[in-house]
Structure 1
Amino acid sequence: MQMVAADWLRSDNQEDDLAGRPDSVDASAAFFGGATTSVLWNSEELKCTSFSFADYLKARGWIAMDNIISESLLRPKWRKVAYGGMQPGFDDNHTDESFLEDMVMNANVVKRDLLKVMQDSVSISQYLCIVTLVSLVWAHTLQSTLDENSLLLLDASLFGSGFLVLLLTKEMRSLNLLFHYILNISFFTTGLYMLAPIYHPLTRSISSDSIWAVTVTLVILHLFLHDYSGSTIKAPVALKNPSLTSCVSLNASVVASVFIASRLPSRLHVFAIMLFSMQVFLFAPFVTYCIKNFSFRLHLMFSFGLMAVTLALVYTLHHLLFMLLLGLLVFISVVCPYWLIRIQEYKFEINGPWDEAKLCFNVTD
């Protein structure tokens, strides 16, 4: 570019040649120095006191400014900064050639084993059987197969077996903790007994078909929103705050229990069935967690035994429901783990400088 300008300066064919002018020597020196510094022109023709050499050439129409001054001299170099606003000459989303150098593919992808996934799915099948057993007790109570005395005996058996599991798994490490649990359960039982007269006539003006439809919907909602991670073993530093979905799931089970209890003939029936339902929905996940934390083999034995008992009881009630429950258990424990392993092959994860920053500490500390 500098040779072209020099040849032009030495040309005798251009109009108003600059050769011989002392001011042109200063201008050419300023141009070949690579700067656009203003110089003083003595020509009466220009009538100005401060003018750059490039502006002079452009004003005369002899050569364009873009052909003289390179864009690299005008645009600043792009810098990789986190804050500071937009950089002049670059878009807000501009990236340079080093943008993809920090990209990492499949950094957090975990290779899963089919047997391990099937073992983890046992907890879901186990809770499905627990809810099915509760539904069977509801059905037999509504059919008057179970009276209030049988329900109270069942409640006492569940309380005793639950405390026995807590004692054997060393969850109750002191007598003070044992008394604390007993006191809370006493308050809970007394409250249910006092609320039984309110629950009894609650849905008297609603048809039975509407009650059954709403109850089935609430039970399905409870199964879908239940926090199944409560049956898994967590790290000691894991947060124990309940999620919104788990609270909605628990409330759905309570409302379904109230609807069923309101269709029973006596207040003692209402108290017995509500106590049974609350025992299962509130304390069964904690008891199964204690068993799994104590021995995983015992957890598997308990789960498969529970599945066998549930299938046998459902078979005596209805053959079609038995086939439906068996298909659900096979789908959850076999088909879903195999499906997860197969689609894991197509998992593709990329990480790079565009990802949000992740905290490496707990903000509540």
Structure 2
Amino acid sequence: MRADLEPAAPGPAPSESRYRRGRWKKVLYERQPFPDNYVDGSFLEELRKNIYVRQYQFWSVVCESGMVVQQLSSVCVFVVLWWYMDQSLLSPHQLFAYGLTISLFGYLMFDIIDSGEGRNLSGRTRWADLKSTVVFVAFTYGFSPVLKTLTESISTDTIYAMSVFMLLGHLIFFDYGANAAIVSSTLSLNMAIFASVCLASRLPSTLHAFATVTMAIEVFALWPMFQKKLKATTPRCHLALTVVFTLVAVLGVLTVSLTGAVLFALLLLAVTFLCPYSLVALQSYKDNIHGPWDEAEIKEDLSRFLG
């Protein structure tokens, strides 16, 4: 057979010969003889698992759940007090007097715990606090007739449904100390005040509406501020106050409904113990992977610019 007719010896495939030209580099600024989706064997060498996983301790999570329990109890106390006024078991004069006394005591305790640090930073005096309180009480009392008739044309069932959704929204958007996008203290407070205005419109008189809105400010605005300051300064006192306040809330529901008290107690137990246990138990199932496919993070050394 002629030599020029003999079949050529088999050689490497075109794609394989192309891959063998040089070594692949993980760069974008250099043209390489490889497809865009090509990676070599070193691609998985940078694989890391669970490098940002946080290990939780059960009892520390239980203590942190106190903020959620206290806010649930606050909503419960507010609804129970409103029900007492609706059933003529509590007069608005008594509610306003009790609320004013407790608020004054909490104000003094806040100053003692804070030791004047916050007041020195803000430059706000007690006289300014007194003027703000008087102005708020005067405006709320003056607008009570408007608040009483604001939702008069809306049916009672719709008012109750709106109040429930507003209070649920208050609990969802409340600032429990987590750094999340859903947290909005302003929205949470506004939803709680709107719920109080809705419920106040179904009470007998304008004085009832005034006492209800004032109570809402004390429960949903002033009380959380005191909680956060107490937790930051003396966590043990905050834990003790949480237990006492929760018992008061459960007893308040018990005076209204036995079934409601049992369900509310089960809810608090689930939030306090069952949810933290589930969180800690599920940590062992985490399998987060990190590697070259993660989004690039630009880290610059600013010292060379500042120095």
SS in 1 for 2:3: coil
Instruction: Tell me if the contact between 1:114 and 1:338 (Cα under 8 Å) persists in the aligned partners.
Output: yes
The reply to whether residue 212 of structure 1 matches residue 160 of structure 2 is yes
RMSD: 3.0
Q: 1:74 to 1:107 in 2, by over 3 A?
A: closer
Partner residue in 2 for 1:255: 194
The reply to whether residue 125 of structure 1 matches residue 69 of structure 2 is yes
Question: How far apart are residue 217 of structure 1 and its match?
Answer: 2.2
SS in 2 for 1:169: helix
Where in structure 2 are the equivalents of 1:344-363 lying within 5 Å?
A: 344-358=283-297
The reply to whether residue 273 of structure 1 matches residue 212 of structure 2 is yes
The reply to whether residue 101 of structure 1 matches residue 67 of structure 2 is no
Partner residue in 2 for 1:198: 146
Partner residue in 2 for 1:150: 94
Please say which of residues 267-276 and 176-185 is displaced more in the overlay: 176-185
Where in structure 2 are the equivalents of 1:66-85 lying within 5 Å?
A: 71-72=17-18, 75=21, 77-81=23-27, 83-84=28-29
Instruction: Please give the TM-score of this superposition, normalised by the length of structure 1.
Output: 0.72
Q: Which amino acid aligns with 1:281?
A: F
- CA offset digits 1:182-236 (Å, max 9, x no partner): 3433443333233322211111112212211221222122223322117xxxxxx
Relative to total residues, which structure has the larger helix share, 1 or 2?
Answer: 2
Q: Which amino acid aligns with 1:97?
A: G
Question: How far apart are residue 245 of structure 1 and its match?
Answer: 4.3
In the alignment, which of 209, 219, 222 is matched to residue 283 of structure 1? Answer: 222
Separation in 1 of the partners of 2:218 and 2:13? 87
Partner residue in 1 for 2:305: none
Question: How far apart are residue 63 of structure 1 and its match?
Answer: 4.6
- CA offset digits 1:316-358 (Å, max 9, x no partner): 1110111011101110111111111211111122222222245
Separation in 1 of the partners of 2:201 and 2:255? 26
Between the two proteins, the alignment pairs up a number of residues equal to: 295
Instruction: Tell me if the contact between 2:70 and 2:242 (Cα under 8 Å) persists in the aligned partners.
Output: yes
SS in 2 for 1:228: coil
Percent identical pairs in the alignment equals 29
The reply to whether residue 326 of structure 1 matches residue 273 of structure 2 is no
Separation in 1 of the partners of 2:175 and 2:255? 30
Instruction: Tell me if the contact between 2:49 and 2:288 (Cα under 8 Å) persists in the aligned partners.
Output: yes
Instruction: Tell me if the contact between 1:172 and 1:178 (Cα under 8 Å) persists in the aligned partners.
Output: no
Separation in 2 of the partners of 1:298 and 1:205? 46
Instruction: Tell me if the contact between 2:173 and 2:182 (Cα under 8 Å) persists in the aligned partners.
Output: no
Instruction: Tell me if the contact between 1:226 and 1:246 (Cα under 8 Å) persists in the aligned partners.
Output: yes
Separation in 2 of the partners of 1:67 and 1:306? 79
Q: Which amino acid aligns with 2:139?
A: G
Partner residue in 1 for 2:3: 14
Separation in 1 of the partners of 2:293 and 2:287? 16
Separation in 2 of the partners of 1:68 and 1:318? 82
- Structure 1 or 2, whichever has the larger Rg, is 1
Q: 1:332 to 1:166 in 2, by over 3 A?
A: same
SS in 1 for 2:281: helix
Partner residue in 1 for 2:113: 169
Q: Which amino acid aligns with 2:46?
A: D
Q: 1:61 to 1:214 in 2, by over 3 A?
A: farther
- CA offset digits 1:154-204 (Å, max 9, x no partner): 231232022122112125334742434334334433332333222111111
Separation in 2 of the partners of 1:181 and 1:254? 21
Separation in 2 of the partners of 1:178 and 1:243? 34
- CA offset digits 1:64-107 (Å, max 9, x no partner): 996699825985542211x438x454232322211111222222
SS in 1 for 2:149: coil
Q: 1:142 to 1:67 in 2, by over 3 A?
A: closer
Question: How far apart are residue 360 of structure 1 and its match?
Answer: 7.1
Q: Which amino acid aligns with 1:211?
A: I
Partner residue in 2 for 1:314: 253
Separation in 1 of the partners of 2:174 and 2:291? 35
Instruction: Tell me if the contact between 1:165 and 1:291 (Cα under 8 Å) persists in the aligned partners.
Output: no
In the alignment, which of 172, 176, 181 is matched to residue 224 of structure 1? Answer: 172
Bigger RCO (CA 8 Å, 6+ sep):
2
Separation in 2 of the partners of 1:104 and 1:283? 46
Q: 1:247 to 1:360 in 2, by over 3 A?
A: farther
The reply to whether residue 293 of structure 1 matches residue 238 of structure 2 is no
Q: Which amino acid aligns with 1:127?
A: Q
Separation in 2 of the partners of 1:331 and 1:359? 43
Question: How far apart are residue 249 of structure 1 and its match?
Answer: 2.5
In structure 1, list runs of 5 or more residues that go unmatched.
Answer: 1-11, 16-59, 231-238
Instruction: Please give the TM-score of this superposition, normalised by the length of structure 2.
Output: 0.84
In the alignment, which of 38, 56, 67 is matched to residue 112 of structure 1? Answer: 56
Instruction: Tell me if the contact between 2:150 and 2:201 (Cα under 8 Å) persists in the aligned partners.
Output: yes
